[in-house]
Amino acid sequence: MNVMIKFVLDYLGYIIRGDKKYYLWLGFLALFIIPWLYGNFMQLKYGMIVTGLTDQVSWGLYLANFVFLVGVAAGAVTVVFPAYVYKFEPLHKVSVLGEMLAVASVVMCLLFVLMHMGRPDRLWHMIPVIGIYNFPHSMLTWDVLVLTVYLFLNLIGGFYFLYKKYAGEPLNNKFYLPVIFIAIGWAISIHTVTAFLINTMPARPMWHHGMMPIRFISTAFAAGPALIIIVFLTIRKNTALWIEDKAIDLLSTIVVACLTIALFLTMSEVVTELYHPTEHSAGLQYLILGKHGLENLVPFFWGSLVAMVLGWVLLMIPSIRKNYNVLSFICAMLFLGIWIEKGMGLLIPGSIPTPIGEFTQYSPTLLEIGNCLGNWAIGFIIMTLLLKGAIGILLGDVKYSK
């Protein structure tokens, strides 16, 4: 018990220390908390009227970010799976960093669910046993349940590994490996359930097809590793922890492979819906070309497509894919493109037109945008602190001394 207490104290002591660049980064992120606090206060006081949501378009920027971040959280498995299933040593050394990223992503997911529900007291419907938990009828309760389990799996696995490394003790593989392998399988489940959250709605034809879970997982395993590559290259540049080129090369190969599948599925959907359009094609037509003079989402679709195709072409060229000076920028472009494709380009047009044919455009308010940026800032603060402590333990800067 004394070792565990010392681990917690040393870990916390290490993450609050850093150089000027570290404090500037945390200070920059903290700036977004100010409009976030104001936005939460206004939403709590006046309700969802302060957002751009309407009766016709009830899912907006909050759930768009939620859907995307579930994929980012699931994408952490692209580090853990090769490390523990294929014994890929370059990733095995740093697999705990992927778990820390998954923890931060799930926290952001849950924050966006809270935002979408409008008021904190409505979480009463998300708490089993003591709350009014609409399970199993509500797919959102399924989603929150699997996300919470995934959060605890990564917390247990990640911090157990760090604790043993800190104490200089061997891992108990009879306990540790089952946690890791369950987390690997669970990562697939969280994004599959999120896909079921939207594709089980017959009244929304743009979402109502069996390809949705595959599309979700393929984009998740492109966006997740893209962010991890950015994080790994940043760590290599700013810390003493060296992450091998082979680890980054494998992740970039995974991005290319999964992005290929995602683009193929997107093009297949476009051809299927628009070659012989029906009334069910109206949402996709509105997204791609606009409809009845309404074209708010058209620039988002084409911008996303250009970013993903350009990034895919560049990563297909080995000399560019292995140029670590530009790889971060390509991955950032892909990350943004997939965010648009899974957010504004998928969630919003699914509600436009409505089941009775109404066309009501949606534009997020500044308050919504501020709340979303605040959630991202909180997530990146958590990720920064978790990664800082993990790196300190991996480097041996934080270790138990009797």
* 228 contacts 78 by C-beta, under 8 angstroms: yes
pLDDT at 29 over 90: yes
pLDDT value, residue 168: 85
pLDDT at 27 over 80: yes
Helix (H) or strand (E) holding 187: helix 173-199
Average pLDDT for the chain = 85
- Lowest average pLDDT, out of 136-140, 210-214, 253-257, goes to 136-140
User: Looking at per-residue confidence, does 153 or 277 come out higher?
Assistant: 153
Superfamily of the domain at 2-395: Formate dehydrogenase/DMSO reductase domain (1.20.1630.10)
φ, ψ for residue 291, nearest 5 deg: -155, 135
Whose CA is closest to 352, among 281, 300, 265, 278? 281
Give the C-alpha separation, 215 to 263, whole Å.
9
pLDDT value, residue 81: 83
Q: Give the three-state DSSP class for 277.
A: coil
Whole-number percent of the chain with pLDDT over 90? 29
pLDDT value, residue 33: 94
Whose CA is closest to 26, among 392, 387, 397, 378? 378
Give the C-alpha separation, 193 to 204, whole Å.
17
pLDDT value, residue 128: 65
Structure tokens at 252: 């970039």
Give the C-alpha separation, 400 to 402, whole Å.
7
pLDDT value, residue 130: 65
Most confident of 131-145, 173-187, 191-205: 173-187
Q: What is the pLDDT of residues 63-79, one digit of tens each?
A: 888 888 888 888 888 88
Domain ranges of the chain: 2-395
Q: What is the pLDDT of residues 348-358, one digit of tens each?
A: 777 777 777 77
Q: For the residues of 90-140, what is the DSSP string, one character each?
A: HHHTTHHHHHHHHHHHHHHHHHHHHHHHSSGGGGGGGSTTTS---TTT-HH
